[in-house]
A = this chain, B = another copy of it.
Amino acid sequence: MKPSVGIRDVAQHAGVSNATVSNVLNRPDVVAPATRQRVLAAIAELGFVRNESARQLRAGRSRVIAYVVLDAANPFFTDVARGVEDAAREAGLALFLCNSASDDSREREYLELLHEQRVEGILITPVDGASAQFAERGTPLVLVDRESTDGTRCSVAVDDVLGGELAVTHLIEAGHTRIAMIGGPLSIQQVRDRHEGALRALAGAGLPPDALTLLETKDLQVAEGRGAGERLVGLPSSRRPTAAFCANDLLALGLLQSMTQQGLRVPDDLAVVGYDDIDFAAAAAVPLTSVRQPREQLGRTAAQLLLTENEPDHEHRHVKFQPELVVRASSAVKR
């Protein structure tokens, strides 16, 4: 079951030295065709599988990068991951996905493990800005969808302030003057930025800051969106917002569902704008207006940045993408 056939078994079987076998594996061109065939035959016959640990130990390289993702159940991140993987495989690297599930200690454990594995590099969307202090351990590390505050490493992010501004400006132009912002917790940088963008939009339109009601949520999942919907409907109708800007699409989908359940129509009774533009947003029964982030490109760029990390004259870069508003039925112009 575990015969553990090694390179020297192959060598012996093919009547060559182990160095030659290694050459066949790593620099096939340097070995004579006849010998190469013989070695390959022996490999196939013995069912030899190269031991990556040994290889890595000796060679130092590892051919693997990892992406520590914040929430594998959020389609936004799986889309980012797809971009990462495409770029990685173009560079001949494989991608391991690790799910921190928004859990501090899981994140730490995975980082530790990845360091021990000596992966070629790490991409991470960290759990929280606060604890984002990663001990420098010699493994290149790039932040994804977070901006590196100190200039100590590369990062790829999206301008969330602008995103918030786009969303709320759109709602204002559609005629809304009482708007809810749904999202939380505020400890998350993204949420703060999008909120700030929303406020900026009000200011730009000459509306008072209290035109925006903040409904804070515990997390960014569908269930919280439903809860927020109930809270919203519970407000006295004179003060109830006519539009809602959600910090991500999961919340928006929850909100949407809550509205239909309570017999309210979207967008007539409440206009809704989400954030991320995940595929389910377009596929919702009331297609969701959303702020699109370049998901695949985010991942792709992050991976490319990572690859430049161990160039000799590397300087840390901070790429920032522009979000884009995608208007759909959920925020049709108010009559």
A residues near B, CB below 8 A? 1-4, 47, 49-57, 62-64, 66, 72-73, 75, 78-79, 81-82, 85, 89, 94-99, 101, 106, 109-110, 112-113, 115-118, 135, 137-138, 222, 226, 253-254, 256-257, 260, 279-280, 283-287
Contact = CB atoms under 8 A, between A and B. Distances in A.
A73 B295 CA distance: 13
A53 B285 contact: no
Q: Can you tell how many copies of this chain the complex includes?
A: 2
Nearest to A94: B113
Contact of A73 (B51, B78, B106, B257): B78
A287 B257 contact: yes
Nearest to A57: B53
Contacts of A89: 106
Nearest to A86: B101
Contact of A253 (B52, B53, B63, B280): B280
Contact of A257 (B78, B85, B96, B285): B285
Closest 3 CB pairs of A and B: A285-B285, A97-B97, A52-B116
14 contacts: A49-B112, A51-B118, A53-B56, A55-B116, A57-B57, A63-B113, A73-B79, A75-B75, A81-B99, A95-B98, A257-B284, A260-B286, A284-B284, A285-B285
A53 B51 CA distance: 10
B53 A2 contact: no
